[in-house]
Amino acid sequence: MQLSRIGVVGGGTMASGIVEACILADYDVVVRTRSEAASHSVKVALERHLRRRIARSEIDDERYEVAMSMVRYTTEIDDLYDRHLVIESVVEDIEVKKHLFAQLDRVLIEGSMIASNTSTLPIMALAATTTRPERVLGLHFFNPVGSLRLVEVVRSLVVAPEVLEAGRHFVQTLGKEPVIVNDEAGFVVNALLFPYLNTAVRLLERGVAAKEDIDRAMMLGCNYPMGPLALLDLVGLDVAVAILERLYEETGDPAMLAAPTLRRMREAGHLGRKTGRGFYDYQSKA
């Protein structure tokens, strides 16, 4: 199955990272956002990331210009009509995604594939909103997309084998490593990661150790590049609670119940790096 024309829906960090990976692999990309401002944000992020690659001698100026020429921006969903594959990376809300998948199903040419970058939501529920459920799959990228090589390729109950294989091959063409996973909440990485992060918060709640020592223990004892509380700040505490809620909804496992501190910090708006305050204070850092 030949893929050369890619669509990306979304205007956030993950969407811009996916676009970057695609244009560096010489795919023709159309980015659909909800506003001109969001399109501008994606373009600015792409320019910044590619300039950093130039500074690191990963690409040269000519490669930069070629990559930037591979992407176009639109606010109209109909402009995605001729894409072979559209990757959705919008807000992690099942109803929003269902509505988008139904729209994509209406405008895309016959034979096109639709993928979701969701980290926890059921691919089958999204596929069921379309007339082509066998051509819907999950492609779960990890943040930051530019440096993390893993992509979970999610297999629903009805996805066609050739579609799953096309998704796996597409990931490889981006220079990334695909892992085939079943359509279960959290897939592999988040199903393992978030109970660990949640446990770290519970240790903090019980006063087992200070936050800095919890993070230092995991970095030095397990050779992790970042401690669990710092990682929660990077992920975003609102995102973490939403993922834990989804995991608990599907599994009923008490380990998936978000720690009270996480919920209270979300309610206070202390969401981590993106708000300047989480388990650590980022407001005073340059």
DSSP summary character for residue 38: H
Average pLDDT over the chain, rounded to whole?
95
> What pLDDT is attached to residue 2?
78
Q: Which domains does the chain have, with CATH numbers?
A: 5-182 (3.40.50.720), 189-275 (1.10.1040.10)
Reply yes or no on whether 190 is catalytic.
Answer: yes
Residue 259 identity: A
Pairing of strands 28-32, 71-74: parallel
Please return the burial class of 260, using the count of CB atoms within 10 Å of its CB with bins 0-12, 13-18 and 19+: exposed
239-256: average pLDDT: 92
Give residue-wise pLDDT tens across range 68-81.
999 999 999 999 99
- Which residue in 116, 117, 140, 156 is the catalytic one? 140
**pLDDT exceeding 90 applies to what percent of the chain?**
94
Q: Which of 84, 152, 156, 198 is catalytic?
A: 152
Q: State mean pLDDT over 41-61.
A: 95
* pLDDT value of position 26: 96
Which residue in the list 89, 117, 156, 190 is annotated as catalytic?
A: 190
Examine the pLDDT at 105 and tell me if it is beyond 90.
yes
Query: What tokens appear for 150 in the block?
Result: 């893993």
With a CB cutoff of 8 Å and minimum separation 6, the contacts of 184 are 191, 250
40 is catalytic: no
Residue with tokens 């594939």: 113
Q: Residue 49 catalytic?
A: no
Which residues, other chains included, contact 137 with Cβ-Cβ below 8 Å and sequence gap of 6+? 113, 115, 116, 123, 153, 154, 155, 156, 159, 163, 164, 167
Comparing C-alpha atoms, which of 198, 285, 183 is closest to residue 235? 198
Q: Determine the pLDDT at residue 285.
A: 57
pLDDT digits (tens, 9 = 90+) for 160-214: 999 999 999 999 999 999 999 999 999 999 999 999 999 999 999 999 999 999 9
Q: What does the pLDDT average to over 247-259?
A: 93
Q: What is the pLDDT of residues 218-232, one digit of tens each?
A: 999 999 999 999 999
Please give the pLDDT value at position 55: 96
Is 119 an active-site residue? yes
Return the bridge partners of 230, or none: none
pLDDT for 261 equals: 98
Structure tokens at 207: 């006063």
